[in-house]
Chain A
Amino acid sequence: MDNITILLEAPVITLDLVLNGLLIGALFALAAYGMALVWGVMNIINIAQGEFVMLGGYVAIVMGVAGIHPLFAVPVAAAFMYVIGWALFHLVIFRVVDRDIFISILATFGISIVLQQLMNTLFGGNVQVADAGLGTALLMGGMVTLAKIKLLAFALATVLAVALVIFLRRSRLGQAIRATAQNARAARVLGIDTDRVYAATYGLNAALCGACGALVAMAYTIHPYIGLPYTIRSFMIVVVAGLGNLAGVIAAGLGLGAAENIAGFVLGTQYQLAFVFLLLVVVLVWRNWRLARRRQYLK
């Protein structure tokens, strides 16, 4: 806890932590937006969200080993994960779309366990990094260090988010997705093939996570068990921001990244994950408590 005094005495360290936190927060927001998409359109909470991020990261790792610059892995991972997501939808997810939401949680939990154990078997449990070889940028006379790849990841995440918004607003498929989210039955009446929309939504979510994961592998680290924290972060961000609220998701994501980085510094890194999971509990309890005063509860 004596780290708090350090923060107060040296605001530049705080600045460093906050900036780095904001950079990773953009990636959290990206994964969270995918979760909000699937949740809003299909009424499914996808616990395998973090595993999609992890798989995208391993695409970057594999390409790095093959001697291709990992930056090219971002589109490749997105395309690869779109296929995976599409396939998973047609294997499992379509069977849980209209059922109790807890069934979807359990089924995607099963998928997440399969994926993480599969990667553990194939790649081993070690922490891996895809080196993009960009070096670091120094600000404030060397007091604030920012890896250039993190800045690039932030920029790419922003570009992806903007592209996604334009896609959902303008394209036929995007409009069909939004129509299905609003009222699936009416969408079917008007001739939208909702099953294809669901498949595309789930694939799109997986692609988003894949791109996010490739960036995570370059800017941070990847290992087979990285998934669940990303899932929980996504869920938390969506609960705070609400469904279909991109600005809220981005704000909540950036805030979470900064908060997590500061907490990791103050509490020690061994408690950083505990902080994330406890924050989830606190957020949910707080939301519910606010609602309970009006005799309502989270729905």
Chain B
Amino acid sequence: MAQLAPGEKKAVSEVSVAVYRPVGYLAILAIGIVAPFLFPAYQSQMAELWLFIVFALTWDLVGGQMGYNSFGNVVFLGVGMYACVLAQVGLFYPVSTYNAARGGGATVFTFDMTQYLEGLAIGLPVGALLATLTALALGSIVLGMRGHYFAICTLGLGIAAGEIANGWEWIGAGSGMVPPNAPDAVGDLSRFYYYLALALAVVTFLVLRWLYMTRFGLAINAIRDNEDKAEAMGLKTTQIKVTAWMISAFFLGIAGGILGNLKRFIDPIDTAFAGPTYGVWMVLMAILGGKGTLWGPVIGAVVFQVLKEASWTYLLGWQRVVLGLVIVVIVVFFPQGIMGFVRERFPDWFGHRVEGGTIAGPARKETLR
């Protein structure tokens, strides 16, 4: 919000925003809660959408707000996914025999309801914790790099992680890993996972919304705008960067656990450490919605998921080619994203006052520098 000079009246937009904002939040939440009952056929896609929103939000924390464009956040997703499922299995059965049996074979592994829920209740936090620790370890090493070196280095990290998982027999290697089967009595659990994904997306959004209002939010923006100056002003940049990456990894770790159970199968390269798909989509969703804004990643994820599902439905066989084309088109022709576009068209919605064609008020956030 623009700083008001003394004696100046509040703009109309500011009053209306204060009224409409909670209403809007509640409306979105209500839609999220009733959606699986209205469109049961699209339940798993919608659960995926909430997770995509988490992907885009967490990417934007580091990419959009801090200016560190990472292709490697998928590492945290995969670590969280494997850690969660391994905990779910490992609490009750030896992992190696479970994976050797490939979900079937001579021995059948059953989980009753308490075991299943217990595994999940322990698995998700373990996944989050391990992902966060991974971010701490990797961040201390690679966050000294800047710009495109960081981008390519993280790309390498993501793919290397996938290749290692692909060769590691204990976690199922290239044949992948099957999460524990829920007891037959409960039937399909995808609605349960839908609500988990919804809860995660809501919590992530609220935490980041709060975070961007704190000094920490200002600090990461300072790092994005000019890291050398930020450091000269006394910010402990390395510490802040690693912390931001850890926050991002924490939520991605939980998202990984949910996604693995939702998909019912974990392929090391196509679901867990899917750099060329999820890794790039995260970036794309944030850019499509508008980098460095709170709502941008959310809007971008929704639009992208709709695009993706439409191309999957109507262009079967060519869908991945189309997605590649979409990436090129968005990046080249629409880099400011939806929020950036809206901000340029209707600056007063954002509390900028327009004077003689230039935006005054708070400095306009550059989508591209």
Contact = CB atoms under 8 A, between A and B. Distances in A.
Interface of A: 45, 92, 95-96, 99-103, 105-107, 109-115, 117-118, 120-121, 228, 232, 235, 239, 268, 270-271, 273-274, 277-278, 280-281, 284-285, 288-289, 292, 297-299
Contacts of B24: none
Contact of B146 (A107, A120, A270, A298): A298
B156 A232 contact: yes
Across the A-B interface, give the 4 residue pairs with the lowest CB-CB distance, nearest first: A110-B327, A114-B324, A113-B324, A277-B160
Nearest to A104: B148
Contacts of B324: 110-115, 117
A103 B145 CA distance: 18
A113 B148 CA distance: 19
Interface in B324-368: 324-328, 331-333, 335, 368
Given A280-B152, A284-B153, A285-B153, A107 B317 contact: no
B29 to A, nearest CB: 33
B114 to A, nearest CB: 38
A45 B147 CA distance: 12
A104 to B, nearest CB: 8
A297 B144 contact: yes
Nearest to B277: A113
Given A271-B163, A277-B159, A102 B148 contact: yes
B280 interface: yes
A298 B368 contact: no
Given A271-B163, A285-B144, 15 more contacts: A45-B152, A92-B328, A100-B369, A103-B331, A110-B327, A113-B280, A113-B324, A114-B324, A232-B156, A274-B163, A278-B160, A280-B153, A281-B142, A288-B145, A297-B145
Contacts of A112: 324
21 contacts: A95-B332, A101-B148, A110-B327, A113-B276, A113-B280, A113-B324, A113-B327, A115-B324, A117-B321, A120-B320, A121-B317, A239-B149, A270-B167, A270-B174, A278-B160, A280-B156, A281-B160, A284-B153, A285-B153, A292-B144, A297-B145
Contacts of A273: 159-160, 163
B318 A109 contact: no
Nearest to A268: B167
Contacts of B196: none
A284 B327 contact: no
A273 B163 CA distance: 7
A99 B367 CA distance: 12
A274 B327 contact: no
Contacts of A101: 147-148
Classify chain B: how many residues form its interface, as a range. Answer: 35 or more
Interface in B175-190: none
Contacts of B276: 113, 228
Interface in B159-175: 159-160, 163-164, 166-167, 173-174
A285 B141 contact: yes
B46 interface: no
Given A274-B160, A297-B144, A106 B331 contact: yes
A261 to B, nearest CB: 17
A101 B67 CA distance: 13
A89 to B, nearest CB: 13
Contacts of A105: 148, 151-152
Nearest to A272: B163
Contacts of B167: 268, 270-271, 274
B144 A114 contact: no
Given A102-B69, A274-B167, A288 B332 contact: no
A271 B164 contact: yes
B166 A121 contact: no
Contacts of A299: 146-147
Contacts of B284: 106
A260 B147 CA distance: 27
A299 B331 CA distance: 23
B120 interface: no
A92 B333 CA distance: 10
Contacts of A288: 144-145, 149
A174 to B, nearest CB: 27
A120 B331 CA distance: 24
A113 B163 contact: no
Contacts of B142: 281, 284-285
A50 B277 CA distance: 17
A142 B44 CA distance: 59
Contacts of A45: 148, 152
A113 B323 contact: yes
A107 B368 contact: no
A228 B153 contact: no
Query: Which of A101, A113, A235, A289 gathers most chain B CB within 10 Å?
Result: A113
The CB with the most chain A CB atoms within 10 A, among B156, B157, B163, B369, is that of: B156
B17 to A, nearest CB: 32
B62 to A, nearest CB: 13
